[in-house]
């Protein structure tokens, strides 16, 4: 089964009770559950309680505890508001009887309004001809820990192609900016709610790594500890996650062990479809 099919299976949540859903977890070789998985599953759990004509436009989440990749996660959805134009849902992720994640998601009935956006970054090479993240890591495979080498052989649900090559085993300081092309690794169903859940999943990629660039460190170094603390995502315009999107990332601050990273998703024609922000914990022991 392909990596994308495995990911879509993660979004086939089991309904346990009214507004209570259960999702299985995927072990990606990290110390805990990948935060993007919890973001995507939580949003898709909330989707099940909202009428199809209302579209998710924002989510604001806190990561409270590390999740166990070997155990299922329950998502309790609370119906905070159903207004004429907007709907609000609160989602709590529970594992082993303890909350590990807390999120608010907002939905809107589509309407017309004023329109403007940031411009797409200039002089960023397109995805064609760039090496994928997996190809770049395979070139370093003999230097990677065994658990990471095993992960290189698995099909990835999201294809990522960095616009610049960055040696994660021997990083050199550079500006806190990163451009990565992302798309689902295969054709997606036409359900726009599913595309938004997968975008939430992908929005957790590369954020904390961008904040490490000025300091010449990376996740691949054993003395680096990094974890997401909170995450926000705003979805501005329609998109397909199985078309290439440029994820433009910038870290504006690092202090006291905490970092702040901002991201924007652009289509190849320059349309801004989503924005993200994440605060994280980065410690170099």
Q: Which residues are known to be catalytic? A: 204, 228, 278
Specify the pLDDT at position 151: 60
Residue with tokens 């990835």: 156
The predicted-structure confidence for 33-44, as pLDDT tens digits, reads as follows 999 999 999 999
228 touches 63 (CB < 8 A): yes
Residue with tokens 């905490």: 258
- Among 5, 4, 11, 10, smallest CA distance to 194 is for 11
Q: Compute the distance between CA of residue 98 and CA of residue 14 in angstroms, rounded to an integer.
A: 19
Decide: residue 254, CB within 10 A, 0-12 exposed, 13-18 middle, 19+ buried.
middle
Specify the pLDDT at position 30: 66
pTM of the model: 0.94
Structure tokens at 263: 């991201």
119 touches 96 (CB < 8 A): no
Torsion of CA 271, 181, 157, 229, to 10 degrees: -90
Specify the pLDDT at position 145: 63
37 touches 201 (CB < 8 A): yes
Structure tokens at 98: 């303890």
Residue with tokens 């004023």: 114
Specify the pLDDT at position 83: 97
Specify the pLDDT at position 29: 64
> What is the torsional sign of CA 122, 128, 133, 139?
negative
Q: In a structure prediction context, what are the per-residue pLDDT tens digits for the chain, which is 285 residues long?
A: 578 999 999 999 999 999 999 999 887 766 689 999 999 999 999 999 999 999 999 999 999 999 998 899 999 999 999 999 999 999 999 999 999 999 999 999 999 999 999 999 999 999 999 999 888 877 776 766 666 666 665 678 999 999 987 777 788 899 999 999 999 999 999 999 999 999 999 999 999 999 999 999 888 788 889 999 999 999 999 999 999 999 999 999 999 999 999 999 999 999 999 999 999 999 988
């Amino acid at each position: 089964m392909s990596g994308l099919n495995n990911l879509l299976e993660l979004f086939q949540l089991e309904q346990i009770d009214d507004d209570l859903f259960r999702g299985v977890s995927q072990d990606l070789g990290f110390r805990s559950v990948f935060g993007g998985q919890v973001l995507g599953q939580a949003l898709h759990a909330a989707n099940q309680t909202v009428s199809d004509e209302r579209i998710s436009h924002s989510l604001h989440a806190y990561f409270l505890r590390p999740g166990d990749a070997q155990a299922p996660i329950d998502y309790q959805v609370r119906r905070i508001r159903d207004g004429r134009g907007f709907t609000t849902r609160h989602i709590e992720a529970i594992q082993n009887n303890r909350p590990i994640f807390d999120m608010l998601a907002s939905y809107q009935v589509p309407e017309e309004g004023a329109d403007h956006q940031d411009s797409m970054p200039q002089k960023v090479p397109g995805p064609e001809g760039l090496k994928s993240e997996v190809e770049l890591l395979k070139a370093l495979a003999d230097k990677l820990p065994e658990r990471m080498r095993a992960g290189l052989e698995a099909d990835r649900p999201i294809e990522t192609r960095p616009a610049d090559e960055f040696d994660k085993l021997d990083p050199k300081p550079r500006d806190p900016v990163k451009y990565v092309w992302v798309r689902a690794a295969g054709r997606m169903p036409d359900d726009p709610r599913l595309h938004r859940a997968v975008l939430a999943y992908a929005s957790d990629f590369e954020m904390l790594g961008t904040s490490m660039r000025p300091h010449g460190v990376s996740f691949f170094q054993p003395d680096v500890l990094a974890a997401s603390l909170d995450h926000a995502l705003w979805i501005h315009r329609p998109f397909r996650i199985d078309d290439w999107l440029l994820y433009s990332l910038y870290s504006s601050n690092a202090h006291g062990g905490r970092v702040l990273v901002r991201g924007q998703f652009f289509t190849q024609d320059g349309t801004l479809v989503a924005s993200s922000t994440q605060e994280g914990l980065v410690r170099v022991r």
